[in-house]
Homo-oligomer: A and B are copies of this chain.
Amino acid sequence: MEYVKAETHNGISSIEFYHPLSNSLPAKMLEQLAREIHFAGTHAESKVIILKSAGEKSFCAGASFDELTQIKTESEGYRFFSGFAHVINAMRKCPKIIIARVHGRAVGGGVGLAAAADYAIATVHADIKLSELSVGIGPFVVGPAVERKIGTAAFSALSIDAAMWRNSEWAKRKGLFAEVHENVENMDESIERLAHFLSHSNPEAMAEMKKMLWKDTEHWDSLLNERAAISGRLVLSSFTKSAIEKFKSKT
C-alpha cells in the first residue's frame, strides 16, 4: 500500500513516497510529504534532503485521478489542489538543500516536485508532461515552481502542448534536471557524491544559499493557494469529467 517514509543517516535525510498507481498523490500523501519535508528542515541532524519515490517506472503521475473524480464542490477542489501548494511551499521554505531523485516519468504535479527541488538528478527515462489542459484544467499550482526553473518560454510550450511528452534531454536543456544519467546506478552514484559533499558543507552557508536561491518567492504562500482555487473551480467543468472518464476507461 501507499506510504511516505523518512529516514536520516550521516546527515542525509531520505524522504520516499509510493503509490501503486504510478506514484500518483492523493491528498493524504501530499500532507505527509509536506510534514516530512518541514520536519527534516527543522531537524539539526539533517544536513541535506533527498526526495524520491519507490518503484522502477513512474517517478510521479501527479494528482490522484481517483480523488479528482470525487471532487464535487469548489471548496473540495481548492482543498485538494492546495495539497500540492503545501508541498511546494514546504520545499521552498526548507533551509536545507533538497535533491530530487527522478528515476522515471513525471506528470503534472510530479513535474512540480522535481522543479521545487534545488537540484534534480534524473535518468534518461524521466520524460515529462504537463497534461493538465488535456483534462480541462491547467498547471496553475505547480506553474510558479516549473517556470522558475525552465523559464517562461519552455513553461509556455510545456503547458500549452499538453498532450505531448518532452524527453529527459529536453528537461535537462531547459534546466528542470541538473543532470541526466544513462541508468539508475549512475544516477544514484551522483546523488550519493553530491549528498555526501553537502552533508559535510557549512550548514549556515547552505541556509543562506537557500534564501538567496528562493528570494522573491515569499508571496507563494498566498499565490499557490490562489492557484489552487483556479484549478479547484475548473476541475468541476464537463471537460474534466469527460476527459477523466475517457482516461479511466482506457486503463
Contacts and interface: CB of A to CB of B under 8 A. Distances in A.
Interface of A: 97, 118-119, 132-134, 136-140, 143, 148-157, 159-163, 173-176, 178, 194, 197-198, 201-202, 204-206, 208-209, 212-213, 227, 230, 234, 237, 239-240
B136 A202 contact: yes
B157 A119 contact: yes
Contact of A118 (B132, B134, B140, B160): B160
A157 B97 CA distance: 11
Contact of A119 (B160, B174, B194): B160
A156 B237 contact: no
Given A137-B205, A138-B205, A149-B152, 8 more contacts: A97-B160, A119-B161, A133-B201, A153-B176, A155-B213, A159-B209, A159-B213, A201-B239
A220 B159 CA distance: 23
B149 A150 contact: no
A162 B136 CA distance: 42
A161 B138 contact: no
23 contacts: A97-B160, A119-B160, A119-B161, A133-B209, A137-B202, A137-B205, A138-B205, A138-B212, A139-B209, A140-B208, A149-B152, A151-B151, A152-B213, A153-B174, A153-B175, A154-B175, A155-B213, A159-B213, A161-B178, A162-B197, A201-B239, A202-B237, A205-B237
